[in-house]
Amino acid sequence: MSDAAPSYTDCYQILLFAIVCSVLSEALSWLLIYRREDYRRLTSSVEKTTKRLEKEKEVPTKGGKNKALARMEKELQTENRDLAFMKMRASVATGLAHVLAFSYIYNKFDGHAVARLPFEPFGFIRHLSHRNLPGDDYCDCSVVFFYMMCNMGFKPSLQKLLGVAPSGSGPGSMMSLHQQMAAKLNVQ
């Protein structure tokens, strides 16, 4: 076991810091993206184009219809590219904010265990969860792993709560890709 046992106050500080960083990150995203009218207009256009495309794909195709489908797919691709470009500014800003926040918390808690895992992690997870900790007790958890797990838990939940979570059923999602592969392989 390492020199000092993890204290609850360290865990709570990191937990609170992760929550505050997630809230500030989403506030920054709202300020730079979600409140803008062109973002709302573009997302509604993407949704409409996606619905039109899905309806057109359900109907059996004829010679001229393939061109219309290709045109709609190209339109959807352009709209998605514009949407991604719009989100890029906020992604850079929030990424920078997270780097600054992480460097602060890393410097404050580096070198001592901030939590204790109820199991011994495997493989590459072990190296991440025990990073820069003295001793060979791999149940001790470093600040890197704990902060990362807190952010992975809070940010998606917060996005869903605020209604800005990425859609799980749109084009390019895992479900959509699975359906496309199944259709190509004629598997249901």
**pLDDT for 17-76, tens place per residue?**
999 999 999 999 999 998 999 999 999 999 999 898 888 877 776 666 678 888 888 998
Residue 87 lies in a domain: yes
Residue 2, pLDDT > 50, answer no
Percent of the chain scored above 70 by pLDDT? 84
Residue 128: the pLDDT is 86
Percent of the chain scored above 90 by pLDDT? 34
Q: How far is CA 167 from CA 63, 87, 140, 142, in A?
A: 33, 15, 36, 33
Residue 15: the pLDDT is 92
Residue 70 lies in a domain: yes
- Among 17-21, 108-112, 163-167, 168-172, the minimum mean pLDDT is found in 168-172
Residue 184, pLDDT > 80, answer no
Q: What is the mean pLDDT of residues 109-134?
A: 89
Confidence of residue 105 (pLDDT cuts 50, 70, 90): very high
Residue 3 lies in a domain: no
On whether the CB atoms of residues 105 and 147 are closer than 8 A, the answer is: yes
Residue 2 lies in a domain: no
Decide which of 98 and 175 is more confident. Answer: 98
Q: What is the mean pLDDT of residues 173-183?
A: 62
Residue 46 lies in a domain: yes
Decide which of 182 and 137 is more confident. Answer: 137
Decide which of 109 and 174 is more confident. Answer: 109
Domain count, the chain: 1
Residue 66 lies in a domain: yes
Decide which of 182 and 96 is more confident. Answer: 96
Residue 112: the pLDDT is 86
The burial class, CB within 10 Å (0-12 / 13-18 / 19+), for 64 is exposed
Structural domain of 19: 8-185
Residue 20 lies in a domain: yes
Residue 169: the pLDDT is 47
116 SS3 class: strand
Q: What is the mean pLDDT of residues 101-117?
A: 90
Residue 1 lies in a domain: no
Helix-helix angle 8-29:63-109, to 10 degrees: 140
Question: Which helix (H) or strand (E) is 170 found in, with range?
Answer: none
